[in-house]
Amino acid sequence: MPKLSPREAVKVYQVSRATLGKALQDGKISAEKTDAGHWRIDPAELARVYRPRTQQKAVERPMPDHLGRDDPNQKAAADQDMAARLAKAEAELAAEREKTALLERHLDDVRRMLPPPDAKLRRWWPW
């Protein structure tokens, strides 16, 4: 296999150009310079340190509300799930409104038990 330039190595392997340059300068990766001063890196040397991008397979995890085109029943299941979540949220909202109304009634009762504020303000200092 032909040797790679740093630009090609960045595309093939999951590494930034700066990281690759630092690894070349530190001697972590052995490479040779051409007569023009360009780096040529052996792919086996890169594979020793980094994994190729093509070997890493991304694990696809479906989004919870993501609908696929393959399964028509998936939309019905998602609609049922959303309806159940909506009903639960509405029930929680109704319970919170009842609690708020109860607390407001209790606050009104406490306000009625308090003495009315004096019309005449009493000063702190007697003079």
Q: Is residue 55 pLDDT above 50, yes or no?
A: no
- The tokens for 22 are 């630092």
- The tokens for 101 are 């109304």
What per-residue confidence (pLDDT) applies to 43? 86
pLDDT tens for 2-53 read 888 888 888 888 888 898 888 888 888 888 888 988 889 888 888 888 877 6
Cα 22 to Cα 28: distance, rounded to the nearest angstrom: 8
Domain parsing of the chain, residue ranges: 6-49, 68-115
Quickly tell me which residue has 């890493």 as its tokens. 56
pTM for the complete prediction? 0.40
